[in-house]
């Protein structure tokens, strides 16, 4: 059994096997939650609970899908022609894959940290539960007025989250290798492949991330920190990864007669909250604390996530879909993923710092703990059948 390091103050030695055992236990909770979403509350009383799962499966049965994830499930279903009830088959398969995507994201976060210990293994799991700060656990609505990067009601977001994170990591690896005169081409190719899948599952991340890297790489090109070859290579691969948008937009807007995109001043955001500033602070208290206190020591990944966050906030505030898709809030999705990305990069920067400030460190730990406990409350609320709102 592989030993890592002892938990200080306790007569106990941590083993990585405990980490995998705990992940296995979490799988049972995840599969239970996703199956309950599919069966629309037949396992646990639904109350005000809502999920997009049932409508996604119904669309899948009718052949009205745009996502690569749903296309993948549909093709498996076509092979399983012997199964008598396709609706149940798709629902169970959907739940299994969402569980695998969720656990896969946890494992990817663990690899991103690059350190294996009780603390960092726990941190990798906790980052999949952190949420907006919840002041009243009994409130009718805790999510809609703020937002979190860890949502449980939308299967396409859960699926694209893994590939979006992979795309982000591969881009960072590509750039860091380039400036260190190391091999960067294969990381760029991996970035292209994962971002293509991300776009095809749900075009969430690219809305804010591609403008971010365009501005950043253009600035680096002017400052001669990157060459024209790297600039054009990454830019070309980014454009090619948008090819699935042709299929996605064709399916999504085929029945959306009269819908359009227009500029506003927080119109959609203000339908969900009275204070946008408070929404941002409650959703991102820990990352904002790290961004401000460690601004001049941020890693490239954290700098990138900060710019991406600012771009995502601007899309949420200024851009909406007009017509029947207004309340879908599709330009809010980049903000949702940017919250998760901000937590990930700032947590790595802050907690992997060797020399910690005697005052700032405990304050940051308290903020992170509040986010984590709020996330547990949010997960439990959904798990027992309350609305994700």
In a domain, 389, yes or no: no
Q: Which residues of 82-98 are buried (b: 16+ CB within 10 A; e: fewer)?
A: eeeebeebbbbbbbebb
Q: Could you report the per-residue pLDDT of 362-388, keeping only the tens digit for each?
A: 999 999 999 999 999 999 988 887 788
Q: Has residue 145 got a pLDDT over 60?
A: yes
Work out the pLDDT band at 8, boundaries 50, 70, 90.
very low
Q: Has residue 202 got a pLDDT over 70?
A: yes
In a domain, 232, yes or no: yes
Q: Bigger pLDDT: 352 or 276?
A: 276
Number of domains in the chain: 1
Q: What pLDDT does residue 273 have?
A: 87
In a domain, 281, yes or no: yes
- Across the range 174-192, mean pLDDT stands at 96
The 10 Å Cβ neighbour count of residue 22 is 13
* Mean pLDDT (the chain, rounded): 87
Q: Bigger pLDDT: 338 or 14?
A: 338
Q: Could you report the per-residue pLDDT of 106-143, keeping only the tens digit for each?
A: 999 999 998 778 888 999 999 999 999 999 888 878 88
Q: What pLDDT does residue 173 have?
A: 97
Q: Are 142 and 334 in contact (CB under 8 A)?
A: no
In a domain, 388, yes or no: no
- Across the range 174-181, mean pLDDT stands at 95
Q: Has residue 248 got a pLDDT over 80?
A: no
Q: Are 148 and 339 in contact (CB under 8 A)?
A: yes
Q: What pLDDT does residue 166 have?
A: 97
User: Helix 333-351 and helix 276-293: axis angle, to 10°?
Assistant: 30
Q: Are 352 and 113 in contact (CB under 8 A)?
A: yes
Q: Residue 168 is inside which H or E element, if any? A: helix 155-179
Q: What pLDDT does residue 17 have?
A: 87
- Across the range 274-282, mean pLDDT stands at 94
* Rounded CA separation 204/200 (Å): 10
Q: Could you report the per-residue pLDDT of 294-319, keeping only the tens digit for each?
A: 999 999 999 999 999 999 999 999 99
In a domain, 355, yes or no: yes
* Rounded CA separation 153/73 (Å): 18
pTM over the 0.85 mark = yes
Q: Has residue 47 got a pLDDT over 60?
A: no
The residue range of the domain holding 364 is: 3-383
């Amino acid at each position: 059994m592989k030993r890592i390091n002892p938990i200080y103050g306790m007569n106990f030695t941590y083993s990585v096997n405990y980490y995998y055992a705990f992940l296995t236990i979490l799988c049972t909770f995840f599969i239970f939650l996703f199956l309950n979403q599919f069966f629309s509350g037949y396992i646990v009383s639904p109350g005000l609970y809502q999920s997009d799962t049932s409508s996604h499966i119904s669309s899948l049965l009718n052949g009205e899908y745009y996502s690569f994830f749903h296309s993948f499930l549909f093709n498996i279903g076509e092979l399983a022609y012997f199964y008598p009830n396709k609706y149940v088959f798709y629902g169970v398969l959907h739940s299994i894959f969402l569980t695998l995507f969720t656990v896969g994201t946890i494992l990817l976060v663990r690899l991103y940290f690059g350190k294996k210990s009780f603390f960092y293994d726990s941190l990798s799991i906790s980052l999949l539960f952190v949420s907006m700060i919840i002041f009243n656990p009994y409130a009718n609505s805790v999510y809609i007025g703020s937002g979190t990067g860890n949502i449980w009601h939308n299967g396409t977001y859960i699926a694209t989250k893994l590939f979006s994170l992979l795309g982000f990591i591969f881009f960072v690896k590509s750039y860091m290798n380039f400036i260190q005169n190391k091999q960067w081409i294969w990381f760029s190719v991996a970035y292209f492949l994962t971002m293509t899948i991300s776009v095809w599952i749900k075009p969430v991340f690219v809305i804010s991330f591609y403008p971010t890297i365009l501005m950043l790489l253009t600035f680096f090109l002017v400052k001669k920190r990157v060459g024209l070859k790297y600039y054009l290579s990454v830019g070309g691969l980014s454009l090619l990864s948008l090819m699935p948008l042709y299929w996605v937009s064709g399916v999504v807007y085929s029945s959306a007669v009269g819908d359009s995109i227009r500029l506003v001043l927080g119109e959609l955001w203000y339908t969900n909250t009275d204070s946008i500033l408070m929404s941002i602070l409650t959703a991102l208290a820990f990352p904002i604390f790290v961004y401000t206190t460690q601004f001049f020591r941020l890693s490239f990944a954290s700098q990138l996530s900060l710019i991406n966050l600012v771009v995502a906030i601007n899309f949420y505030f200024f851009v909406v879909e007009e017509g029947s898709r207004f309340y879908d809030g599709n330009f809010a999705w980049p903000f949702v993923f940017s919250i998760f990305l901000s937590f990930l990069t700032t947590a790595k920067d802050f907690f992997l710092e060797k020399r910690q400030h005697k005052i700032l460190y405990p304050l940051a730990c308290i903020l992170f703990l509040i986010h984590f406990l709020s996330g547990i409350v949010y997960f439990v609320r959904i798990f027992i059948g309350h609305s994700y709102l």
